[in-house]
């Protein structure tokens, strides 16, 4: 038995170093393979980046744009030096207009634009010109509109209204630029001789709907709110879009302050014969500081009294304003009455703020 143990110990003493050496060799081989694999992977990544870089250059060249311009300007736009950034903004606007760099750089400008008043001024002016330029391709006008819209986040307007952010002059100027452009697009759409011109102007207006609604609901002053409301009612916009802007503002306001939100009046007619007169009523309501997104033809399905206009309100405290609406319409020859209505699930689904939400329902023979 002792001899067997001695034999086992002898084998272990002789073979163990061999096994350990073999394990070490195997480990070295595995590590070497891993290092080679990592090196190969790194090489493949470098080659992929180089191919993408070359492909990007070729695409830029094919489109007539300059890759070197884009690459250099992108770095300058991120520069901490104000003078360098200001020059990059001006150069980018010029190069985009000349087709030397891609249009997607316009939204990049808006995103990276600082609150420096000079830079904001240059950017606002340049984007406004590109947004309305007759000789600019539609895609460039669309990109410029998007960029201009990015200068005025609806959340900025909400934060100002809720007291979270003071109204600064840059934001006020950006808001004014958006509302001015919207007014110009409305005129362009109305005066367009060709369908494509009208379609392009309406497409750009659609891009501004969320911001216009936010400004109309809670802009920096009554004149700006009125201008935004006027453009909004000439744009194809649904009730839900307007009420979403209201909901954004209302969610940041105390309950007792929600009555300051601009009233929205949704106009319904029974047939197209009533539209001309309804338009007259609508303009009076807008002049009085209200938002009237449009006139909906419900085709005699509203259930309103046939010979009266119903002013529906949804909160007892809103009765006096409903009567104000009615009195204004009476001066234009309408007959009607105010009705306290229970808000439907649709009303509440669009916005829980029903205190400043009203409906004008025209009866079949009311005007």
pLDDT at 180: 93
Confidence tier at 172 by pLDDT (50, 70, 90): confident
pLDDT at 351: 64
Show the beta-strand stretches assigned E in the chain: 264-269, 295-297, 309-313, 336-340, 357-362
Confidence tier at 311 by pLDDT (50, 70, 90): very high
Closest among 320, 350, 137 to 246, alpha carbons compared: 350
Bridging pattern class, strands 357-362 and 309-313? antiparallel
Examine the pLDDT at 287 and tell me if it is beyond 70: yes
Q: Where are the domains of the chain?
A: 263-367
Are the beta carbons of 141 and 106 closer than 8 angstroms? no
CATH class assigned to 263-367? alpha beta
What average pLDDT does range 51-70 have in this prediction?
56
Of 76-85, 119-128, 209-218, 348-357, highest mean pLDDT: 119-128
What average pLDDT does range 228-245 have in this prediction?
78
Examine the pLDDT at 323 and tell me if it is beyond 90: yes
What average pLDDT does range 158-171 have in this prediction?
65
pLDDT at 349: 64
Tell me how many degrees the CA angle 186-325-318 measures, rounded to the nearest 5.
Answer: 115
Examine the pLDDT at 166 and tell me if it is beyond 70: no
Examine the pLDDT at 16 and tell me if it is beyond 70: no
Examine the pLDDT at 151 and tell me if it is beyond 70: yes
Which of the two residues, 353 and 225, has the higher pLDDT score?
A: 225
pLDDT for 93-135, tens place per residue? 877 777 777 787 788 778 776 667 778 888 888 899 989 988 8
Confidence tier at 259 by pLDDT (50, 70, 90): low
Count of C-beta atoms within a 10 Å radius of residue 182: 28
DSSP 291: B
Whole-number average pLDDT of the chain: 77
What average pLDDT does range 258-275 have in this prediction?
83
pLDDT for 176-218, tens place per residue? 999 999 999 989 988 888 888 888 988 898 888 888 888 887 7
pLDDT at 344: 77
Which of the two residues, 165 and 172, has the higher pLDDT score?
A: 172
How many residues are listed for the chain in this entry? 367
What Å distances lie between residue 58 and 50, 68, 290, CA to CA? 12, 12, 53
pLDDT at 122: 85
Q: Structure pTM?
A: 0.66
């Amino acid at each position: 038995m002792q001899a067997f143990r001695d034999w086992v110990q002898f084998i272990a003493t002789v073979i163990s170093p061999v096994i350990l050496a073999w394990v070490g060799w195997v480990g070295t081989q595995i590590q070497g393979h891993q290092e080679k694999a990592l090196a190969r992977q790194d090489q493949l990544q470098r080659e992929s980046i180089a191919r993408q870089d070359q492909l990007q250059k070729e695409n830029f060249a094919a489109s007539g744009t300059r890759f070197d311009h884009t690459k250099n300007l992108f770095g300058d736009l991120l520069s901490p030096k104000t003078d360098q950034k200001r020059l990059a903004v001006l150069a980018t606007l010029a190069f985009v207009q000349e087709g030397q760099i891609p249009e997607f750089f316009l939204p990049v400008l808006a995103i990276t634009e600082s609150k420096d008043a000079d830079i904001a001024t240059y950017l606002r002016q340049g984007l406004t010109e590109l947004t309305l330029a007759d000789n600019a391709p539609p895609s460039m006008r669309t990109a410029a509109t998007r960029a201009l819209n990015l200068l005025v986040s609806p959340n900025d307007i909400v934060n100002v209204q809720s007291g979270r952010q003071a109204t600064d002059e840059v934001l006020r100027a950006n808001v004014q630029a958006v509302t001015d452009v919207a007014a110009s697009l409305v005129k362009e759409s109305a005066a367009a001789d060709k369908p494509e011109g009208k379609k392009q102007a309406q497409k750009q207006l659609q891009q501004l709907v969320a911001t216009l609604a936010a400004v109309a609901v809670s802009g920096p002053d009554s004149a700006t709110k009125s201008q935004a409301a006027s453009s909004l009612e000439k744009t194809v916009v649904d009730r839900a879009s307007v009420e979403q802007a209201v909901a954004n503002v209302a969610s940041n306001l105390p309950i007792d302050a929600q009555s300051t939100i601009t009233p929205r009046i949704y106009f319904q007619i029974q047939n197209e014969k009533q539209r001309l007169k309804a338009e007259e009523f609508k303009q009076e309501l807008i002049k009085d500081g209200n938002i009237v997104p449009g006139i909906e033809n419900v085709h005699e399905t509203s259930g309103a009294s046939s010979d009266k206009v119903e002013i529906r309100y949804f909160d007892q405290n809103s009765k006096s304003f409903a009567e104000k609406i009615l009195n204004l319409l009476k001066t234009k020859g309408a007959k009607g009455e105010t009705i306290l209505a229970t808000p439907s699930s649709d009303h509440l689904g669009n916005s829980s703020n029903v205190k400043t939400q009203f409906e004008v329902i025209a009866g079949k023979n009311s005007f």
